Structure 1
Amino acid sequence: MSVAERLRARTPVRRWVGVGVATAMWFALYQVNLPVWDWVVYTVMGLDAASQLGSGVHFFFYDSIKIILLLVSIIFAVTVLRSFMSVERTRALLGGKREGIGNVMAAGLGVITPFCSCSAVPAFIGFVAAGVPLGVTMSFLIASPLVNEVAIALLFGMFGIGPTALYVGAGLVIAIVAGFTMGRLKLEHWVEPFVFETRLGGQVIDSTIGLARV
């Protein structure tokens, strides 16, 4: 076995070891965050915990580090998920799905798929041309930029699980209901014909694929 082959064989092991070490360090930092700032603010700086100044300084430093740690963990987790869930793979999963379950799947996949409002037009054309129903496509396009992992981390760090769950749930419900409603309104005739005639992989996609209703 050559040196290059040995290095390639060891790379996955080293990568997982690195992930494990980083995860352990993250948990350690998260656990010591509160006692460290308790000691710094109330012991070293000598501020009173009952005073507005003391509680304000403690809140600023403690919550800033807490939010940074949450952002790092959530962005890392979402990035790993996105490495397995590209827009192309999502489009393939949603192609031919019926409305209802398709809207739920699209909204859920939209949260973890790399997509922003800037790419709405090409994403819309690609999904519809691939046979994804219009309503399902809209559920994906609404949920993807609406439910943001950075906002999730900030809300969780500042307000806790309740408001965060409300934000995520509301975003998913809006995406599902809006997409389902658009699908039931049968707005396909408002879409420019060239969208359905777009060539994917050298073939013209039939515009009737995936437009079945439950």
Structure 2
Amino acid sequence: MAKRLRRDPIYIAPEIIGHINENGTPIVFDERTGEELNPNNPFDKIKIYGRQVIGWFLKPAQNMVRYKTQNKGFIVLMICLSYIEGVEEYRTGQSSRNRSNEFFRNGLHRMYPRKFTDNDLDRFYREARCGLFHNGMVRGQIIINSSFEESLSFPESGTIKVSPSKFLRDIITDFESYIRTLKENIAARELFDNSFSNL
């Protein structure tokens, strides 16, 4: 779900500010371009969503990787993991409520076709995603190192190797592809439009 407009002006995306005026009308303004946006227009929604994901998540993660920030692996991985389920909701037009693992697995199968088994991705979900978001730390099977050759691998039972920098690169590629799809594909845009709202 997108960030909601309020009576007081707030940033709903980097350099996009909005509020609900005294008449109940949404006012959304792109400070970068100087244009007013319509939060009901699918193409303006795509712009807002794209700016949110890139500006608040992917670009800061890229900066951590680019500037060799110490101890960045866990936070970069957390940003990557938070992307997967959410984008899958918009792709399918469905809520992942009580189906989080399924959406996570389907998102990774889509990103890495025929590369991993359901069992591999279920383990990754439990060990990385649930570990970080429920316990504040990955669980025992996860090994993080940006020097690993692959973004994600399951070399042996009980071991999951993750290169946060390469995984982030794959996430960015996937997101850029999704934004292009939204602009070009009516069916994909309708699913997104029905799921994403700032109102």
TM band (smaller chain): under 0.3
Q: When the two structures are superposed, what TM-score results if normalisation uses the length of structure 2?
A: 0.27
* Structure with higher strand content: 2
* Pair member with larger Rg: 1
